[in-house]
Structure 1
Amino acid sequence: MSARTHTRPHPATTDAGVDSRLPWWALALPVLAFVALLLMIRNPAEAQAASGDPAITQMFRHARELLAR
């Protein structure tokens, strides 16, 4: 049995005043990422090499194996 399609009650208009609003997080997330990166490069003298945490390494290995399938 086929389903009925719903049509718009009014046809779409091509007005120049298109109203497109972004959610608050669409601007907040890139700003937060930029600030975090800026803070990380602010003082590179205090930067330390990442330790080879086996749990994270193992997680990346599993992810790579899953993607290789």
Structure 2
Amino acid sequence: MSARTPSAPAQTRTPPPAGRDPHEIRLPWWSVALPAMAFAVLLMLPSGASDAHAATGSPSAVAQVLERIQEVLAHRGA
């Protein structure tokens, strides 16, 4: 039986740069934004479904949320 020799040298890990946690995981922005947006949409679906059969003229839940965001941003900028 012949001894096997590796065809390529074994690769070694390079140490992480100084000041960084070696166990840190960096995620792209969309990996957090997309699930958050999907959750918000799913959260608004039940309230939007109740407005579908009754046309009372009241603003939808989405419109109310957008109005509230505008109010907060306007108040923050002043």
- Which structure is higher in RCO with an 8 Å CA cutoff and minimum separation 6? 2
TM over 0.5: no
Task: Give TM class, smaller chain.
Answer: 0.3 to 0.5
What's the TM-score, normalizing by structure 1? 0.41
What's the TM-score, normalizing by structure 2? 0.37
Structure 1 or 2: more helix by fraction: 1
